[in-house]
Amino acid sequence: MNIPLVDIQERYRRNKTSIDMVVQEVMAGGQYILGANVEALEREIAVYLGCRYAIGVASGSDALTLSLMALGIGQEDEVITTPYTFFATAGSILRVGAKPVFVDISPDSYNLNPALLQKNITSRTRAIIPVHLFGQVAEMDSILKIASSCNLAVVEDACQAIGAEYKGKKAGTLGDTGCFSFFPTKNLGCMGDGGLVTTNDEKLARKIRSLRTHGSEKKYFHETAGLNSRLDEIQAAILRIFLKHLDEDNSRRKRAARLYEYYLQNTPCLLPRRNPESTHVYHLFVLLHPRRDLLKEQLLNKQIGCGIYYPLPLHLQKVFSSLGYKKGDFPVAESIAETSLALPMYPGLTEEDISLITQVLQEID
């Protein structure tokens, strides 16, 4: 038995002929950065998501940073986000010189708890970054209502949630900007690094396009100090192929999640809960179990991939020690970090695979 946590080569095997062909075309064409494939991908993703503008960038991390830069957020500003997410979310706040302010998460969704937002807003708060963690959209109505009442920007971290919906609207189209990652393990992943920013605001789109090329709209003429954050042609060409299959692949993930729920219904595992107002695209299938470390050990002994997302909440990371947070400040995030385990999840996962995986879990009380 050898079942990986994520099978990142599966998409290549399914699309090998098409991928090999477009890579050869790009190589022969000699335009390797911000060419015709990047422009086409930006148009196609904007149509898919239902937004006005999509801007290809070098990574999801850069998408977050460029969004904050375009919004003019910097020194002395505060940005509210979750302590239970990948480092890049809060790291982008530090990169622009602002201060991350953490708010605990909801035990049901693992996403930012809107009920805790208001008391953390100060005169220095400029934005909120909700994360659509593991593929489920945060409670955006409440977040957007609070943001609007306090004149705050909303930057959606949709890096794990492309294709997910909230009340009929796609993740990444609800806030001022949406940020996506094309890291190879993502639901829409390339064969390297890549990212994208979405927005419906023409001025923001223009600013982000300038900032991704060193703050330049005209070559060698610079209005601001931006980044070198450009999506390359080979990755864009590959992503255009994968985009055609995204909904199908997300449906296969959902089917795998239903099978996990069926096989694990009478176990101590606390399974991911779905918000009835949103769809979940299961970038990861993360459950909770009081004996998480034993589960992990048993699965790995059977050559079944698994992972902990995330073992240490951000407020307890050394890099954020100057903020003054301590253990116990965000009990929900801390509890989930201590009990969460990600099971294998990818479109090619079969019912036989899931049956084998869950047999191991069923043996542990």
pLDDT for 275 equals 87
pTM, entire model: 0.96
CATH 3.40.640.10 fits 10-103+111-243, yes or no: yes
pLDDT for 364 equals 77
CATH 3.90.1150.10 in the chain, residue ranges: 246-362
Q: Give the C-alpha distances (Å, rounded to integers) separating 232 from 11, 58, 159, 253.
A: 19, 8, 18, 28
pLDDT for 363 equals 84
CATH 3.40.640.10 in the chain, residue ranges: 10-103+111-243
pLDDT for 218 equals 82
Sequential DSSP letters for 115-144: GGTGGG--TTEEEEE-B-GGGB---HHHHH
Strands 153-157 and 216-218: unpaired
**For domain 246-362, which architecture applies?**
Alpha-Beta Complex (3.90)
pLDDT for 336 equals 97
Strands 53-57 and 195-199: antiparallel
Distant-in-sequence, close-in-space partners of 341: CB < 8 Å, separation ≥ 6 = 286, 287, 288, 289, 292, 295, 296, 306, 307, 308
Q: Torsion angle of alpha carbons 120, 102, 70, 97, nearest 10°?
A: 100
| Per-residue confidence in pLDDT tens, the chain, 365 aa | 699 999 999 999 999 999 999 999 999 998 899 899 999 999 999 999 999 999 999 999 999 999 999 999 999 999 999 999 999 999 999 999 999 999 999 999 999 999 999 999 999 999 999 999 999 999 999 999 999 999 999 999 999 999 999 999 999 999 999 999 999 999 999 999 999 999 999 999 999 999 999 988 888 888 888 899 999 999 999 999 999 999 999 999 999 999 999 999 988 999 988 888 889 999 999 999 999 999 999 999 999 999 999 999 999 999 999 999 999 999 999 999 999 999 999 999 999 999 999 999 988 76
pLDDT for 365 equals 64
How many whole angstroms separate alpha carbon 351 and alpha carbon 349? 7
How many whole angstroms separate alpha carbon 242 and alpha carbon 265? 33
> Which DSSP state fits 223?
S
